[in-house]
Amino acid sequence: MNMQQILGESGRTMSNMDRIIAAGMGSPMMSDNEPRMEDRSPANQMFSIDSMINNLMQEYDMVVRNQEFDRAQMIADKINMLDVQKSQIQAGMGNTQSIMGESGRTVSNTDRDEISRILDSISI
């Protein structure tokens, strides 16, 4: 008895078109029950962005220690984009800090300047 008989399948493999369709189904059919970012309240969006920034900052520290400066710059760019998103949400909802009871600290312009200076001073 072969595998097709055991499984009761025709043995058909996925075509390239099937793969493309399946790949496109990934995001709308996520297995977790977490709502999409735009479906969350502004306070929850801010919390998620802060979490992403914190995780990226830890990753940034690690890649700088490993002297992976191109990757560090990519991470810094992601952090900057998240910071912009956070600022847009804050502008839309007023004083988020008092609502959330958090300091709302993100990467400051001074921090960004310092990161840039360090990256510029490193020669590979």
- Chain-centre distance for alpha carbon 16: 28
State residue 105 phi and psi, 5-degree precision. -70, 130
Tell me if 90 sits within 8 A of 46, measured CB to CB. yes
Torsion sign across C-alpha atoms 15, 28, 88, 98: negative
Q: Domain map of the chain by residue range?
A: 41-95+102-124
Backbone angles phi, psi at 9, to 5 degrees: -115, 160
User: What are the angstrom distances between the C-alpha of 75 and each of 9, 37, 104?
Assistant: 46, 20, 20
pLDDT given for residue 89 in this prediction: 85
Q: What is the mean pLDDT of residues 42-49?
A: 88
pLDDT in tens, 86-122: 888 888 766 545 555 545 556 677 777 888 788 877 7
First to last CA, the chain: 60
Whether 95 and 79 have beta carbons less than 8 Å apart is answered as no
d(CA 105, CA 103): 5
- Looking at residue 27, what is its pLDDT? 46
Nearest to 14 by CA among 25, 30, 29: 25
